[in-house]
Amino acid sequence: MEYIGIIIVAILVNNIVFSQFLGICPFLGVSKKVDTALGMAGAVTFVLTIATIVTFLLQKGILEPFKLDYLQTITFILVIAALVQMVEIILKKVSPALYQALGVFLPLITTNCAILGVAILVIKKDYNLLESVVFAIATSVGFALALIVFSGIREQLSLTKVPKYMQGIPIALITAGILAMAFMGFSGIDQVFK
């Protein structure tokens, strides 16, 4: 039951984009088409899950035992950067079209604060390794849900007549705000799992 609570809270109640405002750059930048949003969601899911596992093991196996906690942020950033490079190399070979579509946003996963935020959150919440992995996967599903829903709405908006001064980023921000308010409707569901 505890893991179900972690999953539901991470996806809906404390959505990384709409509640914690992490990962906004790729959320706004890659959300013009559902195809690129799906690719970015997959890449973020992979990097987020692997980064959480590796950073958790580094924290518990090296940083804490040797009292090197002050190196947490820089260590986590280096791990995330290495993982993103690995994803970039794999995507370039496996799916050149997706690699091109993601463009500059693929290397920007390195600076995606959602990935670093989750790696730090699992340490602060004192999760064990399994809880950390569940939280990371659920958070990436929440990120993917937000990104895909938002990109679908943006595709639909591109087909409608939007006033000239509202086109582009202004209507995207208003839409994101309305989606965030919609996700606020899930607040309180986390009380069921306490």
On whether the CB atoms of residues 102 and 39 are closer than 8 A, the answer is yes
Report field, pTM of the whole predicted structure over 0.75 = yes
The 10s digit of each residue's pLDDT in 100-147 is: 877 777 787 877 899 999 999 999 999 999 999 999 999 999 999 999
The length of the chain in residues reads 194
Q: Is residue 45 scored above 80 in pLDDT? A: yes
pLDDT score at 4: 92
Quickly count: other Cβ atoms within 10 Å of residue 166's Cβ.
13
Q: What is the pLDDT of residue 40?
A: 86
Instruction: Say how far apart CA 194 and CA 183 lie, in whole Å.
Output: 20
pLDDT digits (tens, 9 = 90+) for 12-36: 999 999 999 999 988 988 889 998 8
Domains of the chain, by residue range, sit at 2-193
Model pLDDT for residues 61-84, shown as the tens digit of each residue: 999 999 999 999 999 999 999 988
Residue 26, helix vs strand vs coil: helix
Which pLDDT score is estimated for 36? 86
Could you give the count of Cα atoms lying within 13 Å of 116 in the half-sphere of its Cβ?
Answer: 19
Mean pLDDT over 40-69 rounds to 94
Choose among 49, 48, 39, 46: nearest CA to 99.
Answer: 39
List Cβ neighbours of 152 (8 Å cut-off, separation of 6 or more): 34
Nearest 5°: the CA angle 35, 107, 47 is 75
pLDDT exceeding 70 applies to what percent of the chain? Answer: 99
Considering Cα of 137, then 138, then 144, then 147, what sign does the dihedral take? Answer: negative
Confidence (pLDDT) at 106: 75
The alpha carbon of residue 143 and the mean position of all alpha carbons in its chain are separated, in whole angstroms, by 4
Look at residue 59 in the predicted model and tell me its pLDDT.
97
